Structure 1
Amino acid sequence: MMDVNLLIGFGAAFLLTVILMPLFIPLLRRMKFGQSIREEGPESHMKKTGTPTMGGLVYLIAIIVTVLLVALFTEGLTADILILLLVLFGFGLIGFLDDFIKVVLKRNLGLTSLQKLIAQIVIAVISFLLLNGTEFDTSVSIPFTDAAIELSVVYVLFIIFWLVGFSNAVNLTDGLDGLVAGTASIAFAAFGVLAIHQDENAIALFTFSVAGALLGFLVFNKYPAKVFMGDTGSLALGGALAMVSILLKQELLLLLIGLVFVIETLSVILQVGSFKLRKKRIFKMSPIHHHFELSGWSEWKVVTVFWLVGLIAALIAVALEVL
């Protein structure tokens, strides 16, 4: 049975995002925080130039405020919640700096890849040190079995790979209106169900609060988007999603629950690898959502199909794990 606090967290984060966003969007417009569209992207996206970005700030604020208040007035702040908020805030800060440099300082590339990587690794290492202080299990569970692989001190490398990998995977996926808001809300809700199944109410509170905030954001981010989340939002979501899977000891299950993010990332790796080795492209454009656009699909069709793929994958993962 779902704890009423989870419903409060979901509803409060949703309402807070819906209330704050209409105040935030005009502010972004006045400050000229408009999105610059990549010239190498689909030509149809050029009309999105100037759409306010960094909207991820709003739902991050909504999530942090909601989780802190509900946790303080119920079971208290657990170590799990503090670690999740640290990762959410830390990766969000990296994204904010990247967006700020691109949008405000007008440097199209933002932070360099090396700067972002170093910052992400630092947050991942801090997370590992905090987990290590809680006698954390350093094995990686094999989905749908009782088996696990013990990594011991090498687990720190796994955490770095997992957090950096999925923060960038979600960031790569954020290329169409509503795509990440929808797929990420599905993924967080799926892990929320698993958290309830494991009686991990604190983690469930966090996941459902994130899902609620993202659905609130989707009201303004669905096609045609009035605001984009920017790297501020996407990097934070990816890092937090990876940490949720780690805390629930369902690390590898994220490959199925986050299948859309995995496919998007693989499409980029395959495209780059193929071009470097064979001087030929596999897709018309990567990430793969652009391939479908250039194949004649409407943006809305691509997004809804990807949502459906994410939903089916999440339902299969949860069903196989819970039933």
Structure 2
Amino acid sequence: MSAWFLPLIVLGAFFLTGRLRRYALARSLMDVPNARSSHVTPTPRGGGVAIVLCFLGVLPLLVVLGALEASGAWAMAGAGGLVALIGFLDDHGHIAARWRLLAHFGAAVWALVWLQPAGVMPAGVPGSASGVSMVLAALYLVWMLNLYNFMDGIDGIASVEAICVCGGGALLYWLQGANADALVPLSLGGAVLGFLVWNFPPAKIFMGDAGSGFLGITLGVLSFQAAAVSPDLFWSWTILLGVFIVDATYTLIRRLLRGDRVYEAHRSHAYQHASRRAGRHLPVTLAVAGINLLWLLPLAVGVARGVLTPWMGLAVAYLPLVVFAVRLRAGMPEDASSA
């Protein structure tokens, strides 16, 4: 496996994030704290563009090296690029939620159009030939990009999650003997690592909607591509993404049942309640890394190796995360965290 370019991706993202920080300061692109913020200091935003540019820039090389099919590159470039563009514009001003959602579905359809003929999506799960399953696949991708945006609320958490998932995904490929395929998640993880240097608590710049939405839909596409190596790898990827999937989904359901306006900003995710209890972001971000590496990764490996069935692996992985969400009062108003 030729991985000589991976350090260059990390360095490129690091230096580009620094330039974006100067750009944000010069243009007054600041995330100013309000009643629904989890930070207290005005901070530049939009640094996630470095992740977008570095990863999209390396896609042609990954195709040349045989790590990625051209169809997969077009799927991620088109879908991720559109989501990042909409996020970038929203970071600079405001785009109505209905237009953002329309663009998100357009990006999902673009990805599925390129992925379906390549046969990279697992049979029996979102992405098989039927119209219903294609709709489910689109909903999955749209939810992935939105939940990643929802979960990008404290310093470093979205970056750490992406690095853990990408590193775990690469390990799963290696265990399957697909060494070249591992270069794709490693490239994405490298771009995020370069950004994380600036985003680690206390953050000097935030990812912004361009970066978080891009990561969400790209990780969703990568989970479909993993099924080309082995169908069970799709489920292993959803296990790796468990912290974000469970917290965001449980919180959304709880808020829907409460009659809240789900597209309004809030501070009721489990990780937000946890950061307020801890009094700072770092312990929660490190806890997410620990859960990923010590709990979810072994279970994902177990499913990939056939030790656990996919549904058993998902149940064992998600059940404690649901318990955490319940105990942390996810989806409940902020004052409920002390109840």
Corresponding residue for 1:106?
none
| Cα separation, partners in 2 of 1:296 and 1:115, compared to 1, 3 Å | same
Q: Name the amino acid aligned to 1:134.
A: A
Q: Name the amino acid aligned to 1:264.
A: D
* CA displacement 1:63-82 (0-9 Å, x = unmatched): 12223235446678622222
Within the candidate set 75, 78, 89, 1:86 is matched to 78
Q: Name the amino acid aligned to 1:46.
A: V
Within the candidate set 21, 32, 37, 1:36 is matched to 32
| Cα separation, partners in 2 of 1:76 and 1:165, compared to 1, 3 Å | closer
| Cα separation, partners in 2 of 1:285 and 1:227, compared to 1, 3 Å | closer
Q: Quick check: 61-70 or 194-203, which moved more?
A: 194-203
| Cα separation, partners in 2 of 1:99 and 1:196, compared to 1, 3 Å | same
Asked whether 1:248 is paired with 2:231, we answer: no
Within the candidate set 277, 281, 287, 1:295 is matched to 277
Q: Which runs of 5+ in 1 are unaligned?
A: 102-109, 142-147, 278-283
- Aligned mates of 1:26, 1:149 — CA distance in 2: 42
Q: TM-score, normalised by structure 1?
A: 0.82
Asked whether 1:23 is paired with 2:24, we answer: no
* CA displacement 1:216-273 (0-9 Å, x = unmatched): 1111100111111100000000000011111222433333110111122134224413
Within the candidate set 29, 34, 46, 2:40 is matched to 46
Corresponding residue for 2:170?
192
CA RMSD of aligned residues (A): 2.6
Aligned pairs (5 A) from 1:85-104? 85-101=77-93
Aligned residues: 295
Q: Which runs of 5+ in 2 are unaligned?
A: 228-232, 261-265, 307-339
- Aligned mates of 1:200, 1:79 — CA distance in 2: 18
Q: Does the aligned pair in 1 maintain the 2:75–2:112 contact within 8 Å?
A: no
Q: Name the amino acid aligned to 1:300.
A: L
Within the candidate set 79, 98, 104, 1:120 is matched to 104
1:158 to partner: Cα distance: 1.9
- Aligned mates of 1:210, 1:226 — CA distance in 2: 21
Q: Quick check: 91-100 or 80-89, which moved more?
A: 80-89
- Aligned mates of 2:212, 2:124 — CA distance in 1: 25
- Aligned mates of 1:267, 1:74 — CA distance in 2: 39
Within the candidate set 253, 256, 264, 2:247 is matched to 264
Aligned pairs (5 A) from 1:61-72? 61-72=53-64
Q: Does the aligned pair in 2 maintain the 1:170–1:238 contact within 8 Å?
A: yes
Within the candidate set 250, 255, 268, 1:286 is matched to 268
Q: Quick check: 198-207 or 165-174, which moved more?
A: 198-207
- Aligned mates of 1:304, 1:152 — CA distance in 2: 41
Q: Does the aligned pair in 1 maintain the 2:120–2:226 contact within 8 Å?
A: no
1:157 to partner: Cα distance: 0.6
Q: Name the amino acid aligned to 1:123.
A: A
Q: TM-score, normalised by structure 2?
A: 0.78
Corresponding residue for 1:306?
288
Within the candidate set 276, 301, 319, 1:318 is matched to 301
Q: Quick check: 229-238 or 187-196, which moved more?
A: 187-196
Corresponding residue for 1:206?
184
| Cα separation, partners in 2 of 1:320 and 1:137, compared to 1, 3 Å | closer
Q: Which has the higher contact order (CA 8 A, sep 6+)?
A: 1
1:167 to partner: Cα distance: 0.5
Corresponding residue for 1:172?
150
Provide the secondary structure at the position in 1 that maps to 2:212.
helix
- Aligned mates of 1:138, 1:72 — CA distance in 2: 25
1:185 to partner: Cα distance: 1.0
Q: Does the aligned pair in 2 maintain the 1:16–1:62 contact within 8 Å?
A: yes
Q: Name the amino acid aligned to 1:41.
A: S
Corresponding residue for 1:105?
none
